[in-house]
Amino acid sequence: MLCHGYGRMLSDDFLFGTSTSAHQTEGNNTNSDWWLLEHAGGRVTEPSGDGADSYHRWREDMDLLAGLGFTDYRFGIEWARIEPAPGRFSHAALAHYRRMVDGALERGLRPMVTLHHFTAPAWFADRGGWTAPGAVDLFARYVAETAPVIAVGVRHVCTIDEPNTAAALGARAASGAEALPPAGLPLPDERTTAALIEAHRRAFAVIRAVNPEIRIGWSVAGQVCQALPGAEEAAVAYRHPREDVFLEAARGDDWVGVQAHTRTLVGPKGPVPVPPEAGRTLTGREYYPAALGHALRHTAALAPGVPIIVTGNGVATNDDARRIAYTTTALADLAAAMTNGLDIRGYLHGSALDTYRSGSSCPAFGLISVEPKTFVRTPKPSATWLGGLARTRVLSVG
């Protein structure tokens, strides 16, 4: 509903919080495929190392988030820790993640648990990853083993984060390319795409059997494709395998996650680089706070009737005033979309902490800075500002 004609009042059920991923924050995820990649030489020049040491400091992270006013926290659990060797499940790791769920609930944070966020056990990658025979069965087995973590007190589970990015990275690895293209995503590998969609559906069924009250979905990286004059068909052809097929797979889910940070301009021959005059972020992508509004509308069109949760939205910048400006625009667009009838159930800022990301600790997406040697956490002004909005639950309408 509207509040005094100037803003939108959010219900208590609206998820308002932040997101992190396990590998990026925990540190020393030594049994994962990404850890091996980071230490193999080649395109990854900076290993994740200790990360933000959140494996040991998760209580401090949650204390800060709850104290700032957030009501929800999306965090990942790490398959490589839970199943470090094929068929050998770590009761200690499962107990650790269960303590995190309990700890969130004790602090008034509703947990959303992500089961897969890019990383997999090294042994899974060694046998061929998602395209190997039986890969989906192995993922379903892992999901079943997470029951002690998710069965009680977890309302939302994300099966797989950004499957479209994962499929694109799989295609890059298969081609031997050393870097991402200057604009857009590589063309996803079709076999990986099919396997990920099947894995999501199998995981959905497994989780539903664990607890039918859990709301299940997955999060798709919005490409926010915008066609240059005369390139409308090229934009559709570019976008469909990189985004639309994954949104179509969410039809019938309990919710679908939207993750949007920037846009992709598409010309007749494909994506074009960021215009020289455009503002850029620390990742080199375009500073484009309107991305979220576009992604929300496109997602609603591709997965009609499926509730939407923003599971990742933020900007890589060391200028915190710029972060606040970016997020102000994004939230105003979100409020306007809700006023126009879109069923949006939550906003989780990405990310809670400055963390390792894409082979570097430099992109500062976090609301909370982390000193790399002492791990001292320092909330930024943006954290106080956004936490205050979460506490008052009123958004201005753009």
**What does the DSSP assignment read for 164-197?**
HHHHHHHHHHHHT-SS--SSS-PPPPHHHHHHHH
Distance (Å, whole) CA 180 – CA 184: 8
Token pair of 138 as six digits: 């192995």
Q: Which of 395, 396, 377 is nearest to 68 (CA)?
A: 377
Q: Give residue 143's identity as a one-letter amino acid code.
A: V
Q: What is the mean pLDDT of residues 125-138?
A: 97
Rg over alpha carbons for the chain, rounded to the nearest Å, is 20
Q: Which residues pair with 316 in a beta bridge?
A: none
pLDDT digits (tens, 9 = 90+) for 315-350: 999 999 999 999 999 999 999 999 999 999 999 999
- Residue 393 CB neighbours (<10 A): 17
Q: Which of 17, 1, 18 is nearest to 9 (CA)?
A: 1
Most confident residue range from 263-277, 344-358, 360-374? 263-277
Model confidence band, residue 176 (pLDDT cutoffs 50, 70, 90): low
Instruction: Say what the pLDDT of residue 364 is.
Output: 87
Triad 157, 158, 160: Cα angle to 5°? 145
Q: Which residue has the tokens 């509004």?
A: 293
Q: Strand pairing of 2-3 and 7-9?
A: antiparallel
pLDDT digits (tens, 9 = 90+) for 218-269: 999 999 999 999 999 999 999 999 999 999 999 999 999 999 999 999 999 9
Token pair of 283 as six digits: 């990742």
Q: Which of 125, 119, 37 is nearest to 79 (CA)?
A: 119
CA dihedral defined by 24, 51, 185, 163, rounded to 10 degrees? -20
Model confidence band, residue 355 (pLDDT cutoffs 50, 70, 90): confident
Where residue 155 sits, what CATH number does that domain have?
3.20.20.80
Q: Which residue has the tokens 């988030």?
A: 65
- Residue 374 CB neighbours (<10 A): 8
In our burial notation (b when 16+ CB lie closer than 10 A, e otherwise), range 169-205 reads bbbbbeeeeeeeeebbbbbbbeebbebbbbbbbbbbe
Instruction: Say what the pLDDT of residue 3 is.
Output: 45
Q: Strand pairing of 394-396 and 7-9?
A: antiparallel
Q: Which of 323, 172, 335, 341 is nearest to 261 (CA)?
A: 323
Token pair of 357 as six digits: 């990301």
Model confidence band, residue 275 (pLDDT cutoffs 50, 70, 90): confident
Q: What is the mean pLDDT of residues 388-397?
A: 92
pLDDT digits (tens, 9 = 90+) for 56-110: 999 999 999 999 999 999 999 999 999 999 999 999 999 999 999 999 999 999 9
Instruction: Say what the pLDDT of residue 357 is.
Output: 62
Sign of the dihedral defined by the CA atoms of residues 367, 150, 307, 130, in that order = positive
E strands present in the chain: 2-3, 7-9, 15-19, 72-76, 110-114, 156-161, 215-221, 225-227, 256-259, 264-267, 270-271, 308-312, 344-350, 368-370, 377-379, 394-396
Higher pLDDT, 360 or 127: 127
Instruction: Look at the chain and report how many structural domains it folds into.
Output: 1
Asked whether the predicted pLDDT for residue 168 surpasses 50, the reply is: yes
Domain of 258 in residue numbering reads as 2-396
Q: What is the mean pLDDT of residues 154-179?
A: 82
Distance (Å, whole) CA 2 – CA 280: 34
Higher pLDDT, 212 or 48: 212
Asked whether the predicted pLDDT for residue 207 surpasses 50, the reply is: yes
Q: What is the mean pLDDT of residues 39-63?
A: 89
Instruction: Say what the pLDDT of residue 1 is.
Output: 46
Q: Which of 41, 38, 60 is nearest to 50 (CA)?
A: 38
Asked whether the predicted pLDDT for residue 174 surpasses 60, the reply is: no
Asked whether the predicted pLDDT for residue 182 surpasses 70, the reply is: no
Asked whether the predicted pLDDT for residue 44 surpasses 80, the reply is: no
